[in-house]
Chain A
Amino acid sequence: MSAEDAAGDADAAVPEETVPDRESEALLEVREVDAGYGDLQILTDVDLNVADREYVTIVGPNGAGKSTVMKSVFGLTNLMGGTVTFEGADITGLRPEEIIREGIGYVPQNDNVFASLTVRENLEMGAYILDDFPEDALEAVFERFPILEERASQKAGTMSGGQQQMLAMGRALMLEPSLLLLDEPSAGLAPDLVDEMFDRIDAINDAGTAVLMVEQNAKEALRRCDRGYVLANGQNRYMDDGDVLLNDEQVRQEFLGG
């Protein structure tokens, strides 16, 4: 895909100045990444990009390395090769606490709230790296998730799974990131809450935050997103608009259960 693009650009003899311009369009750019944990390599030559305000999902079977892609972006894996750039800056190999400053928020799948801290304290921790506490951001989070304001002084561990998921997202939003990484946001939620969760993610994206999401619930995720990647065995398989992938016979057969 990218090879074709590059070839097309060369044919059209694009003036030199537009080259950096084109690159800066991609908010996040993952290039030929090999990554894993310790000596175990999971990803091979994975390419992926997310444009500003775009909503991208990664789907694929269990063990495809979907979460590993996300963790690699956030500096939580052993990066063996390739580069990760964000807003034009190379963030390959940076530590999470540095990456978060660049404007990427990450909501992990499990254990994503501080159970023994109150809801409010969890949100405060989200803004730990700022010198001045962002009252505006807190207001915005409370507006987006009113339940969090209602339960501000309740211990996070005593809340339901859906509420904890909202809290985890709220915490990531405290820094008003330009890209939000969501690892299986619907995991463990009661079926009637799953739709609500997707609506909330839509709303976050509509407000201008780019979203990169890994989802088990592939059909719904592809329906909602702008663009999707299908990953298998740690490698790129398909990439296209969500609807296109959803209606692609090959993809349906292989990955969406017909």
Chain B
Amino acid sequence: MGIAETYTRGRQAAVARPGSIILGLVVAVLLFDLGVGLATGDNSFSGVGSLMWDGLMRGLVIGLAGIGLSMTYSILNFANFAHGDYITAGAFSGWATTYVVAGLGRADIGALFLVGASGSVFGGTLGIGVTGTPLAVVAGALVAGGFTVALAVVIDRTVFKPIRDESGITLLITSIGVAFALRYIMQFVFSSSVRGTTAQPPSVSLYFVDGVVRINAHDIALVVVAGGLMLGVHLLLQLTTLGKAMRAMADNEDLAQITGIPTERVVRAVWIIGGGLTGVAGYMFVLWKGTLGFNDGWLLLLLIFAAVILGGIGSVYGAIVGGLAIGLTASMSVIWIPSAFSRAAAFFVMIVILLVKPEGIFSGRSTA
């Protein structure tokens, strides 16, 4: 193979997929810049390592929260904008439980139920954390999941089911209304203050080339819970009859009906499973970041949408991979740009990847 042939081939690739070439160049420049920074000492390996770990944690939160959104999208064919507020609702229900369990007898029960609205009780004072109050945290996570299941099922029954046969746009706009209603009910009940929820968790410092990367107990809890649930979803989809029926329905709903799959029951199962995952994701999100406000889920929703679209909307595996990509991008972008732009960077990367692969990373292998 001569130089001329190589040149011709390269030229063809450049003409056929200009996006890939530009993307490759940009990545090369960024990596070169990072390399220079590391060599000159402007960036430390441990600093980059910390950012990567932080991005991974964010990615797990986004990915876990994105599974429910992707499931409902693939089976019900609409983008549920209320999903972000399901996350917040799960978080509030779970954290109210955690506060009550951890602080019973030590503080006013009303204040505990309202998750310390207006600074009446502080999570830090109660010593809340996976190591300090493990029982309260487990109970909170379970209640968060259970409450969000109930919420998702009730809203489906009362709001979405009657308009199931309408177009996706009708459902989407309705879901935006549901989102607003939920959010401001929560603001009304729990106040708009952003409160600290956890005490400083214990952490270990791992030596990494030229410094340390700190990993705390809540990071570990997030990895365990998110990893476990993702594995659980995978097994559900691949091994159980219900999971296969969900994939079948995502694949071809008309055929699913003809085959005798009770589609309404599968829809309910999707809300139950998706709702549970979403509630637990909301709880773990707050446990990990240590603060809770009524806007948390709504703000996270944009990143979740970015992740889900990036991964190929409708694919559960795409949501996980997309979540990790968006989380890592948002965290690691501060190496090159001011941190105020980290969300913008995540969306920019989403757009660039979609320009190269418009169907998303996991397109074409629909997996419910």
Contacts and interface: CB of A to CB of B under 8 A. Distances in A.
A170 B259 CA distance: 12
B interface: dominant SS: helix
Given A121-B244, A124-B241, A124-B244, A129 B260 contact: yes
Interface string A109-124: 0011111110001001
Contacts of B44: none
Contacts of B241: 124, 128
B251 interface: yes
A96 B254 CA distance: 10
A177 to B, nearest CB: 11
Contact of B255 (A100, A111, A121, A129): A111
**Tier of interface size on chain A:** 20 to 34
Interface in B224-248: 241, 244-245, 247-248
Contacts of A121: 244, 247-248
A50 to B, nearest CB: 19
Would you call the interface of chain A mostly helix, strand, loop, or mixed?
Answer: loop
A227 interface: no
Contacts of B367: 116
Contacts of A113: 255
B271 to A, nearest CB: 19
A96 B252 CA distance: 15
Contact of A111 (B244, B247, B252, B365): B252
Interface residues of B, number: 21
B261 A125 contact: yes
A74 B258 CA distance: 8
A86 interface: no
B259 A171 contact: yes
B366 interface: yes
CB-based closest 8 A-B pairs: A100-B260, A129-B260, A114-B251, A114-B248, A116-B366, A97-B260, A116-B251, A125-B248
27 contacts: A74-B258, A96-B258, A97-B261, A97-B262, A97-B263, A100-B260, A101-B260, A108-B254, A108-B258, A111-B252, A111-B255, A113-B255, A114-B248, A114-B251, A116-B247, A116-B250, A116-B366, A117-B251, A124-B241, A126-B259, A126-B260, A128-B241, A128-B245, A128-B259, A128-B261, A129-B260, A129-B261
Interface of B: 241, 244-245, 247-248, 250-252, 254-263, 365-367
